[in-house]
Amino acid sequence: MTFQFLLNGTPLEASEAATLIKTFKNSRKAPTIELSEVFDIAKLDSKALFDMAVDKRSKELASLAWKISVSKPAKEMKVSRPTAQKTIGESPEALIDELHRSRSYWAVGAAMILDYFSKTNEWSTLRTIATFYVNDIDESCGVPRDSVLYKGFTWSEEQGGYDPVALQANVDRRDTFHVSPVYLSLREGMGWCLRNGLIEKESQISYGSLDGTKGHMTQRVYYNIRLTKWGQDVSQLWADSNAYILNFFAARRQGS
């Protein structure tokens, strides 16, 4: 795709536009470009992007897919219709049926969220939920060792269970937790749950070190989530959600 840059209606070459942007890179207030005014976001398929992210193990694609899935173009926003409530008209049975009919990663992510909070409704992170299911399913011996369930996790003798693999020196980024199928599924499933008013979320920032040395501190946004009252109703109605999750990961192998 070729972009045509304009300055007060006068066409600019791409190199000229780049030079102009560099000129203002040190300005106090960065200019904002609303991409929904350039692209028809409604036509973008977040599910296709998410599947591509899993296939390519790309954190950037996964993040983009999630942001598209939970956003709406500004021109379609209506003040009288809160986005968190826009599909609540569907019955709990209809939402559960939608998940049952889908064999996609986003669906199992939503299933894990609903199933996890059927036991508790305290705030929890996607990392906590992911780690719980890897260890819970492993203890049940319900999936083969080459299941995608284990991708992004490593066995810890100290913990007596599986822990997420962090990005650090000598670790391939493609093997880390934040590009694992389980985590990406939860990210996409969280978007579906938000759109259907099933959960509420709050964002936090974690600080860590990329290689354990000073000067390499990293920041990552993570989310605490819990079910809404509506989400609790759906969760309590779905009696076989755990079996759905188990069957999903039993059927999917690494490298296939």
- What DSSP designation does 180 have? S
* 133 has a pLDDT exceeding 50: yes
SS3 208: strand
Q: What is the pLDDT of residues 80-127, one digit of tens each?
A: 333 344 445 579 999 999 999 998 999 999 999 999 999 898 999 999
Q: Which residues contact 247 (CB under 8 A, 6 or more apart)?
A: none
Tell me, what's the pLDDT at 28? 57
Q: Token digits for 181?
A: 């199928």
Q: What is the pLDDT of residues 173-199, one digit of tens each?
A: 888 999 999 999 999 999 999 999 999
More confident site: 241 or 51: 241
Residue in 217, 125, 221, 133 with CA at minimum distance from that of residue 167: 217
More confident site: 188 or 172: 188
Tell me, what's the pLDDT at 81? 31
Tell me, what's the pLDDT at 77? 32
Q: Token digits for 240?
A: 């076989």
* H helix or E strand, kind and range, residue 223: strand 217-227
Q: Are 198 and 234 in contact (CB under 8 A)?
A: yes
- What DSSP designation does 173 have? G
Tell me, what's the pLDDT at 208? 56
Q: Which residues contact 106 (CB under 8 A, 6 or more apart)?
A: 47, 50, 69, 185, 188, 189, 191, 192
Scanning 102-219, the segments in alpha helix (DSSP H) are 105-116, 126-139, 181-195
Q: Mean pLDDT across the stretch 188-213?
A: 79
Q: Are 197 and 230 in contact (CB under 8 A)?
A: yes
Q: How many residues does the chain have?
A: 256
* 65 has a pLDDT exceeding 90: no
Confidence of residue 169 (pLDDT cuts 50, 70, 90): confident
* 26 has a pLDDT exceeding 70: no
